[in-house]
């Protein structure tokens, strides 16, 4: 533990130096590409500062993220200040992911059965720690009333675009999301920046907005409709994350890309499946696509991230330091987020808890100078 503490102190001092560097650069208010500010942005200063700092943070390390981290974990739910990650390493993730599925229905609780008031408060708590928030939206099916995975009936996207039979209904659903984003405000009135991942994993076809369920142009129109509607509603605290599934780099990744002016971060959802048998496939695929994203990120002046990943139940003891980190550290990855630790589904967890097989290796992962948890972060909002 002494070694761990010394490492964290060194990271803290490096963070102070990073803050000074950012402050010095922040005085250069111009419109050149390196400034990190969008020429036509209407976003809050904190949101623009986060974007600018995301483009620099990879030089310090890779931020670790976990979905629904403070809401519940393996065998527990709703305990104050609890987190499976924190229970193992003594610190919260630098990035916390949340999902607002079912908010469109006017529901009190999310699709993971968590009260939206609790989700809002945990988002505020994470911001107050200096951490980052990312939000996905598994929106229900406006055409059938089913969930995001209801793909039996085709034409859902067609029906919600302008002139579609469910267009007005869809706008009322978007309004629910806009109201939630606009409600993310601290006690001192600061609006909390969010990395928003709309219509994710669209290169697969398991969601009603997926590849086989709408055309390329319809998907792009859906993205722009969402983007423009939120701007009209005064949602000025979002950074948009493009987050396809791992079907490949190049044309597959970019064929539904809505345009640089509508995307702030290039992401990737990729899971390790098949345990030992899937190691080579996972590492090779991750390596190939991150190489591609690095080139695209540099070309487009956008940070890159692994927006979802993980190995369910983590049966490989050294998965963190021998499989995940060696690939990530070769690239300027802003953050890596593993999926949730479900309390209602045994063995459906992606971060370790005390006593779990990979917990000791996760401590080594935490102690690496290449990884960042919330206490390691400089102020990313100034």
296-316 pLDDT, tens digit per residue, is 999 999 999 999 999 999 999
What are 72-122's pLDDT values in tens digits? 999 999 998 999 999 999 999 999 999 999 999 999 999 999 999 999 999
Within-domain flag for 136: yes
Reduced to 3 states (helix: H, G, I; strand: E, B; else coil), residue 134 is strand
What are 17-68's pLDDT values in tens digits? 443 343 444 333 333 333 333 434 699 999 999 999 999 999 999 999 999 9
The domain of 334 spans 2-28+40-376
Give dist(CA 210, CA 342) in Å, integer.
25
User: What pLDDT, on a 0 to 100 scale, did the predictor assign at position 162?
Assistant: 97
User: What pLDDT, on a 0 to 100 scale, did the predictor assign at position 234?
Assistant: 98
Within-domain flag for 143: yes
Within-domain flag for 33: no
User: Between the CA of residue 320 and those of 317, 358, 366, what are the distances in Å?
Assistant: 8, 8, 9
Q: What percentage of the chain exceeds 90 in pLDDT?
A: 87
Q: How many domains does the chain have?
A: 1
User: Between the CA of residue 233 and those of 162, 164, 199, 211, 228, what are the distances in Å?
Assistant: 17, 21, 19, 29, 9
N-terminal to C-terminal alpha carbon distance within the chain: 32
For residue 50, the surrounding DSSP H or E stretch is helix 45-57
The predicted model gives 143-168 an average pLDDT of 97
Within-domain flag for 381: no
On the question of pLDDT at 191 being above 80, the answer is yes
Give dist(CA 35, CA 127) in Å, integer.
24
Residue 45: count other Cβ atoms within 10 Å of its Cβ.
13
What are 223-256's pLDDT values in tens digits? 999 999 999 999 999 999 999 999 889 999 999 9
Residue 273 or residue 16, greater confidence: 273
Within-domain flag for 34: no
> Which residues are CB-neighbours of 335 under 8 A, at least 6 positions away?
62, 63, 64, 65, 94, 95, 132, 305, 306
The predicted model gives 330-334 an average pLDDT of 98
pTM of the model: 0.90
Within-domain flag for 343: yes
Within-domain flag for 18: yes
Within-domain flag for 35: no
User: What pLDDT, on a 0 to 100 scale, did the predictor assign at position 275?
Assistant: 83
CATH number of the domain enclosing 242: 3.20.20.80
The predicted model gives 351-365 an average pLDDT of 98
């Amino acid at each position: 533990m002494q070694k761990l503490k010394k490492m964290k102190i060194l990271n803290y001092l490096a963070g102070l130096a990073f803050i000074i560097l950012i402050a010095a650069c922040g005085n250069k208010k111009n419109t050149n590409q390196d400034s990190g500010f969008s020429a036509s942005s209407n976003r809050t200063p904190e949101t623009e500062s986060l974007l600018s700092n995301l483009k620099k943070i990879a030089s310090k390390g890779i931020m670790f993220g976990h979905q629904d981290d403070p809401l519940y974990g393996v065998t527990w739910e709703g305990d104050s200040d609890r987190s499976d990650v924190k229970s193992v390493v003594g610190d919260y993730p630098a990035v916390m992911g949340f999902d607002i599925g079912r908010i469109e229905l006017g529901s009190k609780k999310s699709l993971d059965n968590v009260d939206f008031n609790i989700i809002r408060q945990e988002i505020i708590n994470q911001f107050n720690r200096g951490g980052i928030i990312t939000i996905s939206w598994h929106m229900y099916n406006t055409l059938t009333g089913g969930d995001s995975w209801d793909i039996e009936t085709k034409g859902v996207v067609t029906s919600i675009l302008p002139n579609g039979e469910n267009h007005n209904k869809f706008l009322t659903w978007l309004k629910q999301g806009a109201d939630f984003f606009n409600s993310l405000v601290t006690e001192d009135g600061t609006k909390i920046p969010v990395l928003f991942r709309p219509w994710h994993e669209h290169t697969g076809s398991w969601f009603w907005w997926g590849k086989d369920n709408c055309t390329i142009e319809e998907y792009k129109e859906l993205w722009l409709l969402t983007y423009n509607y939120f701007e009209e509603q005064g949602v000025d605290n979002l950074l948009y994350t493009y987050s396809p599934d791992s079907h490949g780099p190049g044309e597959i990744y970019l064929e539904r890309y809505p345009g640089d002016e509508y995307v702030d971060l290039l992401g990737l959802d990729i899971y390790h499946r098949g345990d030992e048998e899937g190691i080579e496939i996972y590492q090779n695929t991750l390596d190939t696509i991150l190489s591609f994203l690095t080139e695209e990120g540099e070309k487009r002046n956008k940070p890159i991230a692994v927006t979802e990943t993980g190995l369910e139940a983590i049966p490989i003891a050294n998965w963190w330091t021998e499989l995940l980190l060696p690939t990530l550290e070769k690239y300027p990855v802003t953050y890596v987020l593993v999926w949730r630790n479900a309390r209602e589904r045994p063995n459906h967890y992606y971060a370790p808890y005390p006593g779990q097989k990979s917990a000791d290796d996760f401590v080594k992962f935490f102690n690496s100078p290449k990884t960042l948890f919330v206490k390691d972060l400089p102020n990313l909002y100034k």
